[in-house]
């Protein structure tokens, strides 16, 4: 197959990865925008989603059950980290909060190695999702379309919640001006706790559906964290639209890049980041504060 | 001179004497560990120029360390340089990289600095992995440690561990002296001012952006020097010198030792290198223990071990002073 004919398929691959990346990045960027906390453990929470799901599958053999339960467990973990660790160091400033979440990521990665081992794990997919269908002239794996479907559904729900409900308005207002929301009488720490839990849930969900696709292994967290940070820089602080655009861009850069210049594909996203830093230092959709 | 200042000089003199006679006190195997401690002390010191003094939290210091290590090994191998030019070349390469990356990473400050240093470290790592012709990719490059050439005096061979120990010790002591002196220069003072109140520094008329780049270059130079020596020490460099683990190691060392004091990072580097050596023989979960220790310190002792030692000392001194006269408290 020549390069041009492979283009649509690669673009679809890129879209799948981009949407997955967005699921993880959306929580990260909202948390960052609201409290200035760059949650280093976000990648680790995503990885936990993949591993919890693997274990639930081992015990019960139910993929759909793991899709439901594993993200909830990750959300619980996220809430515990926020309530009992992160909140304690809040008064020391952002650098300490970042250090704490970094320490958490470090511990989670070590625990994953202890409980699940260093080797990549194989996830057995239900037969409904395991096959492939003819699409764009090739046999396309159903599972990747499933990832795309799930992430689009979650994306639509998230936008609806953020833009059409009272809770979403409070969250967006908190990202824009935390002090004012606090002054209006809302419980900002509680809003943040819920946001943190939701972010963890999204990361966990992305881990569950991404695990079988990107291979469940202990390096998952440190691999995705770099892409996540690039998304935050390129998209702009606290901007959910920016995160979407940046995630999709990175997905395309990686998959199309591999097609054109396989040796240098990995450098494209850094090039994008450097260009954004030079010409729009506050990100594509970010506002300078 | 107050008694506490006397104590400081006495401790410093005792420490230097101990370092000078170290090869006569311990065997070759522990001496190798001490060399590692000394090299990592410099790495942590260079890191603290950014973290402790400028308040910039970096997740990408391995980029400079690794580039330094590659540079020294390649200068030995391809150009056949002797030891000192090779190590200095490593430092210079780090400084050049410090200028280039510095222009990008200090632009947005604060949390963005952490994020950008991590991303650029990943970029440099990818570069080292892909440029196989130069770096050997994951296989790495090896080169023998060359002789130290001293003008008019001839060559000193560096194969003997004791010779190598003294070389590393002298270089690191000089660098330590420089870093100490740096905290008292106008730029060093400005550096701390930027940490405390960047807006005010800007308001007075300082060029905050270029000052940060300059500080980044100084820090990068010493990190690369440490990397150059680490590469020459192992006579072999691979991508593990430049990966995220290396970048987080130095962060953990500096924080555990305590970023608030000048000697904290040295303490952290020695303490963790020692624990690593001892505990990794006993338990395979050493890294988990290190992570838990780190989180506990972040939560309960943000000034690290040096902060704990100082508060212990203060308690001891104030207890003694309290016995003599309660009014003497707060002096000294």
Would you say residue B168 lies in a domain? Answer: yes
List chain A residues with CB under 8 Å of B199.
Answer: none
Q: Averaged over B202-211, what is the pLDDT?
A: 87
Overall number of domains in chain A? 1
Q: Is residue A288 part of a domain?
A: no
Q: How confident is the model at residue B331 (pLDDT cuts 50, 70, 90)?
A: very low
Expressed as residue numbers, the domain containing A99 is 3-279
Band of pLDDT at residue B329, cut at 50, 70 and 90: very low
Chain A nearest CA to B38, separation (Å): 25
From chain B, pick out residues whose CB is under 8 angstroms from the CB of A277.
104, 107-108, 116
For residues B200-216, average pLDDT:
88
- Evaluate whether residue B175 is within a structural domain: yes
Instruction: Check whether B7 has a pLDDT greater than 90.
Output: no
Distance from CA of B196 to the nearest CA of A (A): 12
The verdict on residue B2 lying in a domain is no
Report the gap between the CA of B115 and the closest CA in chain A (Å): 6
Rounded to the nearest 5°, which phi and psi values hold at B95?
Answer: -65, -40
Helices and strands: H and E segment counts in chain B: 14, 4
A285 lies in some domain = no
The enclosing domain of A103 has a CATH number of: 1.10.3470
B259 falls within a domain: no
Model confidence band, residue B323 (pLDDT cutoffs 50, 70, 90): low
Q: For the segment A156-189, what is each residue's pLDDT rounded down to a tens digit?
A: 998 888 888 888 888 888 877 888 888 888 888 8
Spatial separation of the C-alpha atoms in residues B132 and B119, rounded to whole Å = 21
Closest to B227 in 3D by CA, of B124, B53, B93, B80: B93
> Are B248 and A106 an interchain contact pair (Cβ–Cβ within 8 Å)?
yes
pLDDT digits (tens, 9 = 90+) for B65-123: 999 999 999 999 989 888 899 999 999 999 999 999 999 888 877 788 888 898 889 88
Asked whether residue A286 is assigned to any structural domain, the reply reads no
Q: Specify the higher pLDDT residue, B324 or B294.
A: B294
Residue B289, domain member (yes or no): no
Tell whether the model's pLDDT for residue B325 goes beyond 60.
no
Look at residue B33 and tell me if it is in a domain.
yes
Q: What residue numbers bound the domain in which B101 lies? A: 25-242
What's the Cα-to-Cα distance from A24 to each of A41, A82, A142, A224, rounded to whole Å?
11, 17, 22, 9
Mean pLDDT to the nearest integer, B281-307? 87
Q: Identify the helix (H) or strand (E) that includes residue B175.
A: helix B161-182
In this predicted structure, the answer to whether residue A288 has a pLDDT above a threshold of 80 is no
Q: Would you call A89 and B295 a contact, using CB atoms and an 8 Å cutoff? A: no
> Within a domain: residue A29?
yes
Cβ A277–B118 below 8 Å, yes or no?
no
Percent of the residues in chain A that have a pLDDT greater than 70, as a whole number: 98
Structurally, how many domains does chain B consist of? 1
Say if residue B2's pLDDT is above 50: yes
pLDDT per residue as tens digits for the range A94-148: 888 899 999 999 999 999 999 998 889 888 787 777 778 777 777 888 888 899 9
Query: Considering only CB atoms, which chain A residues are within 8 Å of B120?
Result: 270
pLDDT tens digits, one per residue of A32-68: 887 788 899 999 999 999 999 999 998 988 888 999 9
What average pLDDT score do residues B314-326 get? 69
Interface of B with A (CB under 8 A): 55, 57, 59, 104, 107-108, 110-112, 114-116, 118-120, 122-123, 126-127, 130, 244, 248, 251, 255, 285, 287-288, 291-292, 294-295, 298-299, 302
Residue B317 lies in a domain: no
Chain B environment of A276 (Cβ under 8 Å):
none
Closest chain A residue to the Cα of B112, Cα to Cα: A233
B234 belongs to a structural domain: yes
Dist. CA B224–CA B254, nearest whole Å: 17
As a whole number of angstroms, the distance between CA B145 and CA A38 comes to 42
Instruction: Decide if B107 and A32 are in contact by the 8 Å CB cutoff.
Output: no
């Amino acid at each position: 197959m020549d390069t041009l004919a492979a283009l649509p398929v690669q673009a679809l691959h890129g879209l799948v990865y981009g949407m997955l990346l967005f699921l993880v990045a959306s929580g990260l960027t909202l948390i960052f925008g609201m409290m200035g906390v760059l949650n280093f453990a976000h990648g680790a929470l995503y990885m936990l989603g993949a591993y919890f799901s693997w274990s639930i599958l081992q015990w019960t053999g139910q993929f759909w059950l793991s899709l439901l339960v594993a993200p909830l467990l990750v959300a619980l973990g996220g809430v515990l980290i926020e309530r009992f660790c992160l909140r304690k160091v809040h008064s020391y400033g952002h650098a300490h909060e970042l250090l704490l979440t970094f320490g958490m990521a470090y511990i989670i990665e070590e625990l994953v190695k202890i409980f699940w081992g260093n080797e990549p794990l194989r996830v057995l997919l239900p037969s409904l999702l395991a096959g492939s269908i003819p699409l764009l002239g090739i046999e396309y794996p159903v599972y990747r379309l499933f990832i795309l479907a799930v992430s689009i559904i979650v994306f639509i729900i998230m936008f609806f919640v953020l833009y059409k409900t009272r809770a979403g308005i409070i969250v967006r207002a908190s990202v824009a001006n935390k002090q004012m929301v606090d002054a209006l009488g809302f419980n900002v720490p509680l809003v943040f706790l819920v946001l943190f839990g939701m972010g963890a849930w999204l990361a966990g969900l992305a881990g569950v559906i991404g695990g079988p696709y990107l291979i469940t292994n202990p390096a998952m967290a440190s691999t995705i964290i770099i892409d996540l940070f690039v998304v935050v820089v390129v998209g702009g602080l606290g901007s959910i639209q920016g995160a979407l655009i940046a995630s999709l861009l990175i997905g395309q850069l990686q998959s199309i890049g591999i097609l054109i210049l396989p040796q240098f594909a990995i450098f494209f996203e850094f090039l994008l980041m450097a260009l954004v830093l030079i010409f729009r230092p506050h990100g594509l959709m970010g506002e300078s504060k | 001179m107050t008694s506490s200042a006397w104590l400081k000089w006495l401790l410093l003199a005792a420490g230097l004497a101990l370092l000078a006679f170290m090869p006569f006190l311990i065997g070759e195997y522990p001496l190798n560990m001490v060399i590692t401690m000394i090299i990592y002390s410099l790495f942590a010191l260079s890191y603290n120029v950014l973290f402790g003094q400028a308040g910039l939290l970096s997740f990408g210091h391995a980029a400079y360390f690794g580039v330094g290590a590659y540079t020294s090994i390649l200068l030995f191998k391809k150009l056949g340089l002797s030891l000192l030019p090779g190590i200095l070349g490593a430092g210079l390469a780090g400084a050049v990289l410090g200028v280039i990356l510095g222009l990008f990473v200090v632009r947005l400050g604060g949390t963005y600095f952490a994020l950008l240093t991590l991303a650029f470290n990943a970029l440099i790592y990818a570069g080292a992995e892909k440029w196989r012709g130069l770096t050997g990719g994951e296989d790495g490059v090896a080169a023998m440690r060359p002789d130290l050439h001293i003008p008019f005096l001839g060559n000193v061979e560096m194969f003997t561990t004791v010779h190598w120990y003294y070389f590393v010790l002298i270089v690191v002591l000089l660098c330590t002296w420089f870093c100490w002196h740096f905290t008292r220069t106008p730029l060093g003072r400005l550096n701390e001012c930027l940490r405390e109140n960047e807006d005010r520094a800007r308001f007075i008329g300082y060029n905050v952006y270029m000052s940060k780049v300059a500080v980044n270059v100084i820090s990068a130079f010493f990190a690369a020097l440490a990397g150059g020596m680490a590469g020459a020490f192992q006579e072999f460099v691979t991508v593990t010198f430049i990966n995220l683990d290396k970048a987080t190691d130095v962060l953990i060392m500096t924080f555990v030792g305590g970023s608030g004091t000048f000697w904290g990072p040295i303490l952290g580097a020695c303490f963790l290198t020692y624990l690593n050596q001892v505990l990794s023989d006993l338990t395979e979960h050493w890294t988990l223990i290190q992570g838990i220790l780190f989180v506990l310190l972040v939560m309960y002792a943000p000034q690290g071990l040096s902060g704990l030692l100082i508060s212990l000392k203060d308690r001891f001194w104030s207890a003694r002073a309290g016995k003599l006269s309660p009014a003497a408290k707060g002096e000294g």
